[in-house]
Amino acid sequence: MAKSPLMVKVIENTCTVVNKDKTVTLPTVQRSALSSAGETAGVVPFTIDLTSCTPGADVSVYFEKDSIRFHGGSTKKHSV
C-alpha cells in the first residue's frame, strides 16, 4: 500500500484577548422588528480588545450561548 505524504499546517494563537469576560446588555426588541431573515434590531456597539497580535493576522469572532437556541451565528473576519 502506497503512503501519501501528510501535510500539516500549524496555526498559532495570533492575539491575546484582554477582556475575556465582557457583558454586553442587549435591549428588548419587538418581534415585528425582526419580521424576516437578515433583519437586525437593538444594535449595541462593543469592542473586543486584543494585544500581542501578529501583524497582518486574520482574526475571527464567533458568538455562542449554550443555554439558548441561537439561529444563524455570526462570524466576522478582520485583519489586524
Residue 54, in any domain of the structure: yes
Written as tens digits, the pLDDT of the chain (80 aa) is 444 455 555 566 678 888 877 788 888 998 898 888 888 889 888 888 888 888 887 787 776 666 555 555 554 555 54
Query: Facing residues of 58 across strands?
Result: 79
Q: Report the number of distinct structural domains present in the chain.
A: 1
State how far the Cα of 12 lies from the Cα of 37, in Å rounded to an integer. Answer: 36
- 8 Å CB contact between 41 and 29: yes
- Whether pTM > 0.85 for this model: the answer is no
- 8 Å CB contact between 37 and 4: no
Residue 55, in any domain of the structure: yes
State how far the Cα of 27 lies from the Cα of 31, in Å rounded to an integer. Answer: 12
Residue 27's SS3 state is coil
Residue 58, in any domain of the structure: yes
